[in-house]
Each structure stands twice: as structure tokens, then as C-alpha cells.
Structure 1
Amino acid sequence: MSDRTNAADKARRARLATPTDLKADATRDISAALRGLLADVFALYIKTKNFHWHMSGHHFRDYHLLMDEQADQIFAMTDPIAERARKIGGSTIHSIGQISREQRISDNDAEYVEPQDMLAELRDDNQRLVTIMREVHDTADSYGDVGTTSLLEVWIDETERRAWFLFESTRGGPGAND
């Protein structure tokens, strides 16, 4: 990279710099963890809406409404995650392509998925998201970033609740496979 390119890149980054008392390595590591989390949250949001739109069967109304409610809750995390990264002087997601490159929650492009399989897949994805959020929490906690850890603690609880509802919806018993 030429000196001219380096200077222009530094100038662009300076325009987005946000004052923070966190050290540069904390900003780098926490914002990177938040970017990955944001990619996963967007992936889970789209998958939840996909299943919401393509739900069928005897429990259509209940499952359709459950997924809509859960999608709203998932989407509500996106802006605070991105803004948290910016508040601490980092950057966030720029594009759908970046989401695709960074997401760890897998897509489901199948034409048809059985309702119980949708619920089970979303349950597993929410459980995976809890694990990811705990990892981000550990990263933020290691740098003393209580702002990020506080947000994550609420989202972990909400995500565990979504996983629990999905688990209960997939339990065996009369009518469970309808």
C-alpha cells in the first residue's frame, strides 16, 4: 500500500472515530465480535421470517404468530448491536455480502420444511445464538466493557426464552406432529 493510500485510509477512519475510554485492542476485539453477532442475528431474523412466511398445517396460526413475535424480537437487537460497536469506536456491518461472509447461523433455502422441523431448527439456532452471545459477553467482560455485557445479558435471557418456547412447541405428545 502506498503512503498516499494509507493516509487516505487513516483520514476516512478518523472521520468515523468515536471517543471512548476503551483501549484500541478492546475496540478492535469487541467490535469484531459484535459484527459477527450482528451477522448471526440478521441470519436468524431472515430464517425466522422465512419460516413464518412458509408455515403450514394444523397449528398454522399459532406457529405463524409465534415466529412473527420472535422475528420482531430478533430484529429489535440489530440496531443496538450496530450502535454499540460504533459507540465504542468500532465499525459494523456494511452489506448483505458481509453478513453472508460472517454469519455462523446457517440459511435454509428449502422449498418446503415440515412445521416441526422449522421449530426444531429455529430452537437449535437460538441455542447456538446464546452460545455466540456468551462468547461476545466474555470478550467484552475481559476488557471491562459493562455497556456491552449489560446488553448481552438481556439478549441472552430473551434468546433462551425463544429457545424454550420452540422446545416446548416441539415436544412429543398428542398432536405434536400436526
Structure 2
Amino acid sequence: MTDIPAKTRQIAPLRTPTDLGADATRDIAAALTTLLADVFALYLKTKNFHWHLSGPHFRDYHLMLDEQGEQIFAMTDDIAERARKVGGTTLRSIGHIARLQRIADNDAEYVTAQDMLAELAQDNQQLTAALRSTHAVCDEYNDVATASVLENWIDQTERRTWFLYESSRSNH
């Protein structure tokens, strides 16, 4: 422990050692942070719809959205930690999420189950595009580790889109 008073100590910036250059750190961390805002927005919307579902397929949809919410939430820590591992920083607050998110909130008092599923399918498609865009940034700087985990999330997100789409189709 040091005897230097906290007010006079130099605070070291959050610089994680990396072999990626400053441009790579800046661009990859920024892409991951924006992606993380989208993932949190999608997570909360998925849980919102999970909590407010009603109708004849309630149990099946409720369980599916709960499972999808868990899968989406599981991405959050890994995304944030990738930003830190490449030498950057990431989200710091709900306000930060709100400023960056590209997936729209849905604060409607009532949404039909079919509309919930269709909206979440579109949002997951939008997230897939964001994941691919982030992957392109990682490819530009040869960040194969981040690109690798993004590929798994692309597959998971495409699967969620497929399930939501098939569940929302009418049987006519």
C-alpha cells in the first residue's frame, strides 16, 4: 500500500496491453460498444415481450422468449470484455446505451403476440447485420479472436430470427 494520498496519486488510464494499434483499439472498441448497446436494447425488448405476452400460445412463446433473452444476455459480458481486451473501454450506464442503441425500444401498452414475434425477428436480423459490420472492422485489423466469437453470435442470432419467423407465420 502506498502512503501517497488518493487526491495526489496519478491515476493510470485503462490501457490494456495489446499488439493491436491505436486505430484498431479505437475502432474495434467503438464497434463493440455500439454492438453492446444494441444487445442490451434487444435483451430488454425480448424480456419486455416475455413479461407481457398473452394469447393461446402463451406458454410456448413465453418459454422461447425467456430462452432467447438468456442467450442474448449471455453475450453482454463477452462483448464488453472483448472491448477491454483489445485496449478500449465500453458502456458505463443506461444513458450510454440509450445514446448508442440502434434497435428501437417498444414502450407500447399492448402488442399482440404475433407482432411481438415479428418485431423481434426484424430486430434480430438488424443485430445480425450489426454483428457482420463489427466483424468487418475486426477483419480490417486482423482481430481474429473477436471475429471468431462474432461468428458464433451471428449463428445464434440467425437461429433466433428463424425461430421467431417460423413461430409468427400464419397457418393459412
Same fold (TM over 0.5): yes
Picking from 122, 125, 143, the partner of 1:124 is: 122
- Please, what is the CA RMSD of the aligned residues? 0.9
% identical aligned pairs: 69
Return the offset for 1:170.
1.1
Residue 15 of structure 1 and its aligned partner are, at CA, apart by 3.2
Deviation for aligned residue 1:16: 1.2
- Out of 113, 116, 134, which is 1:115 matched to? 113
TM-score computed with the length of structure 2 as normaliser: 0.93
CA–CA distance in structure 2, aligned partners of residues 146 and 26 of structure 1: 12
Give the residue type in structure 2 aligned to 1:142: E
SS at match of 1:15: coil
- The structure 1 residue matched to 2:13, chosen from 9, 12, 15, is 15
Task: Say which of 70, 80, 83 aligns to 2:81.
Answer: 83
What residue is the counterpart of 1:72 in the other structure? 70
Tell me the matched-pair count.
163
Cα displacement string for residues 92-142 of structure 1 (whole angstroms, at most 9, x for unaligned residues)? 000000000000000000000000000000000000000000000000011
- Could you tell which deviates more after superposition, 115-124 or 165-174? 165-174
| Structure (1 or 2) with the greater helix fraction | 1
Match of 2:24 among 23, 26, 31: 26
- Matched to 2:127, the amino acid is L
Paired amino acid for 1:65: L
Which one-letter code corresponds to 1:110 in the other structure? A
Query: What whole-Å deviation, never above 9, does each CA across 1:118-170 have from its counterpart, x for those lacking one?
Result: 00000000000000000000000110000110010000000000000001001
**Partners in 1 of 2:132 and 2:94 — Cα distance?**
24
- Letter matched to residue 17 of structure 2: P
**Structure 1 residue 148 and structure 2 residue 154: aligned?**
no
- The aligned runs of 1:43-62 (5 Å cut-off) are 43-62=41-60
Letter in 1 for 2:85: K
User: What amino acid is the match of 1:150?
Assistant: S
List gaps (5 residues or longer) in structure 2: 1-9
In structure 1, list runs of 5 or more residues that go unmatched: 1-10
Structure 1 runs, 4 residues or longer, greater than 6 Å off:
none
Q: Distance in 2 between matches of 1:106 and 1:93?
A: 18
Matched residues in 1 for 2:77 and 2:99: separation? 19
Q: Take 2:66 and 2:75, find their aligned partners in 1: how far apart are those partners? A: 15
- 1:22-79 per-position Cα deviation (integer Å, ceiling 9, x unaligned): 0000000000000000000000000000000000000000000000000000000000
The offset of 1:89, in angstroms, is 0.5
